[in-house]
Structure 1
Amino acid sequence: MRMDKHSPTRTSHDTANGLALAVDVRNATGQPTLLFAHGFGQTRGAWNAVAATMAAHGCRCVSFDSRGHGESDRVPGGEYHMQQFVDDLLSLAHAQPEPPILVGASMGGLLGLVAAGEIRPTPFRALVLVDITPRWETSGVERILAFMQAHPDGFASYAEAAEQIAAYLPQRRERKSEQQLRPLLREGADGRLRWHWDPALLAGGLVSESERYQPRLLSAAAKVEVPVLLLSGERSDVVSHHTVDEFLALVPHARHAEVPGATHMLAGDANDAFTAQIAGFITSLPKASTWPAPEAACAQDKEERGRVCRYTTE
């Protein structure tokens, strides 16, 4: 049966240390390539609607589950660190046929900032940051973590899980169905349904590292040279006018758009408006032909810095 551009092809990507990341590819021959990086505690499913729409409009759309999330492998021993996630994102970017446009939400956007600011040649053609800035509002992040930590023993049913999500996201009109929840929950040997993420993500050093990463993130942001679109939710408690202004001072060529009525969960709250912003941004970018060919950029970088070429052609 022939798959259309909206339907994902499931594949996997092996990281440098042997973990397999679950990956969906839509419209494999399309251009440009959009690489979607989800937030902490999410899965690649968070991008289903926008990826299907952008694939139908001709883009190649790649989304993935970060290590310890969804269907991707968990780290043996539960030792998670931010640099591992940065390296995974770089590995995926370099595996694409061209430098992708990164669409990164929350954690995914922070990883993209580090990579775009610190790596040369740049691994991305452009950045779309979804409700995240190098410095964030601590209270908003604490609210997210509190929800993630609230049900260590899981749920007796999908209906119970849907009720808790509805309480956490009161702005959503419809409750999630069992079909929508199945990718987000795992059934344990005791019959209880637990979230898809590795509990060690919350217990280990990753969460405690986040605040210490802010100086690195601020420094990286100031070095970003590619086009940037920052999308924020009007009702977000993670970014604020203060953190947005600080970011725009660091990255003066960046654009900013606020999505009316949306919270930190931008894509889920206002997907049509969110997708329209991304589509408009992509249309405004320089044509790909004006960018150095990957192999040329690598050759120049190799000569100037002695780095290993990251983009290769068969």
Structure 2
Amino acid sequence: MPRPVERVRKFTGSHQNCLVATTFGAGGPPVVFLHGGGQTRHAWQATARTVARAGWTAISVDLRGHGDSDWIDGAHYNFDDFAKDALRLFQTIGKEYGEKPVAVGASLGGISSLIAQDLSGQDLLAGLVLVDVTPRMRRDGVEKILGFMGARAHEGFTSLEEAADTISAYLPNRNRPKSLSGLSKNLRRGEDGRYRWHWDPAFISGPHPIEPGQFTTEEKRVEAARALTIPTLLVRGRQSELVQDEHTEEFLEIAPHARLADVSGAGHMVAGDRNDLFQAAILDFLGDLRQGEATS
């Protein structure tokens, strides 16, 4: 099957900041992919192509401070800042395509989508997919991830191979990729020749880092989930370091119409660990949305 048409385009966030995206396919209903903290829009590439081949328009976006999107003056990187960007993004795409988008958000992207839906005061989205994120999560798991991200944020790496070795040590259960071309999209090479993560270090260490803010306490996230009425899918990695059984059970209690896809052999990085099962869950959900069956 031929590769869907791909093009790079720009959107505007809540601080008039530029958000860079890649669109896959054309003419179908929009599905917006928002990556997790420390990732870029390229994390969704394989899934976005698959979704586009199924007749949707996939739109994968670099969040503020990540990838090719703007780093923010004043370093505003609270969850509520990302959520306000997501709100404006979804509104813009809804108007442009003439129908509400479906949001697929991993971790940071999922929380941003959930809060954006709540902030809108209306059905902003046609559907919501939360990828290994729930209102409550293991705090030690979050701290471990942030610790890994921050450890080399300023120092960087001498080579792509060193970065790959560091990732392999952090994720020993994942096979080290033979090609480093995908990794290169998550790194930027500085004038000193060193490779650093393709995100603003102020995301973690700045004056307004990714910490609890106005809309980000657990209880506020719980209330946002409780208010959900749109079709919702939670995709959890069964070996997730963040989302445990009790978190999944609580989410399904407060959002009883939501579905669960529990992906075996996957941790927090569900799409990277078992992309075959992840894509199958997404396509099933989108197919049922198209048939009006996603809440049954």
TM-score by length of 1: 0.86
Q: Deviation per CA, 1:102-133, whole angstroms, max 9, x where unpaired?
A: 11101111111112233232110011110000
Which secondary structure does the structure 1 equivalent of 2:22 belong to?
strand
Which secondary structure does the structure 2 equivalent of 1:95 belong to?
helix
1:271-310 aligned within 5 A: 271-285=275-289, 287=291
Letter in 2 for 1:207: I
1:230-241 aligned within 5 A: 230-241=234-245
Paired with 2:217 and 2:3, the residues of 1 have a C-alpha distance of 38
1:24-173 aligned within 5 A: 24-30=22-28, 32-96=29-93, 97=97, 98-151=99-152, 152-173=154-175
Which secondary structure does the structure 2 equivalent of 1:267 belong to?
helix
Q: Is the 8 A contact 1:7 1:52 kept in 2?
A: no
**Runs of 4+ more than 6 Å apart:** none
Letter in 2 for 1:147: F
Letter in 1 for 2:68: E
Which secondary structure does the structure 1 equivalent of 2:105 belong to?
strand
Q: Which moved more, 1:134-143 or 1:173-182?
A: 173-182
Q: Is the 8 A contact 2:101 2:126 kept in 1?
A: yes
Q: Deviation per CA, 1:258-306, whole angstroms, max 9, x where unpaired?
A: 0011000000000010000011111222657xxxxxxxxxxxxxxxxxx
Following superposition, the deviation at residue 63 of structure 1 comes to 0.6
Q: What's the counterpart of residue 209 of structure 1?
A: 212
Paired with 1:243 and 1:95, the residues of 2 have a C-alpha distance of 32
Q: What's the counterpart of residue 305 of structure 1?
A: none
Identity of aligned residues (%): 42
Letter in 2 for 1:216: K
Q: What's the counterpart of residue 187 of structure 1?
A: 189
Q: Is the 8 A contact 1:27 1:61 kept in 2?
A: yes
Paired with 1:102 and 1:14, the residues of 2 have a C-alpha distance of 17
Paired with 1:83 and 1:208, the residues of 2 have a C-alpha distance of 10
Count the aligned residue pairs.
284
Paired with 2:150 and 2:5, the residues of 1 have a C-alpha distance of 33
Letter in 1 for 2:124: P
Paired with 1:92 and 1:28, the residues of 2 have a C-alpha distance of 18
Q: What's the counterpart of residue 307 of structure 1?
A: none
Which secondary structure does the structure 2 equivalent of 1:77 belong to?
coil
Match of 2:232 among 210, 228, 243: 228
Q: Deviation per CA, 1:12-63, whole angstroms, max 9, x where unpaired?
A: 1122422111111011212x31110111111111100110111111111001
Q: Is the 8 A contact 1:69 1:198 kept in 2?
A: yes
Structure of larger gyration radius: 1
Letter in 2 for 1:177: S
Residues 1:128 and 1:40: Cα distance change in structure 2 (over 3 Å):
same
Gaps spanning 5+ residues in structure 1: where? Answer: 289-314
Gaps spanning 5+ residues in structure 2: where? Answer: none
1:249-288 aligned within 5 A: 249-285=253-289, 287=291
Q: Is the 8 A contact 1:117 1:225 kept in 2?
A: no
Paired with 2:216 and 2:79, the residues of 1 have a C-alpha distance of 11
What RMSD, in angstroms, separates the aligned Cα atoms of the two structures? 1.7
Paired with 1:58 and 1:83, the residues of 2 have a C-alpha distance of 32
Q: Which moved more, 1:194-203 or 1:178-187?
A: 178-187
Paired with 2:287 and 2:66, the residues of 1 have a C-alpha distance of 32
Paired with 2:14 and 2:118, the residues of 1 have a C-alpha distance of 21
Paired with 2:264 and 2:112, the residues of 1 have a C-alpha distance of 26
TM-score by length of 2: 0.91
Q: Which moved more, 1:14-23 or 1:262-271?
A: 14-23
Which secondary structure does the structure 2 equivalent of 1:220 belong to?
helix
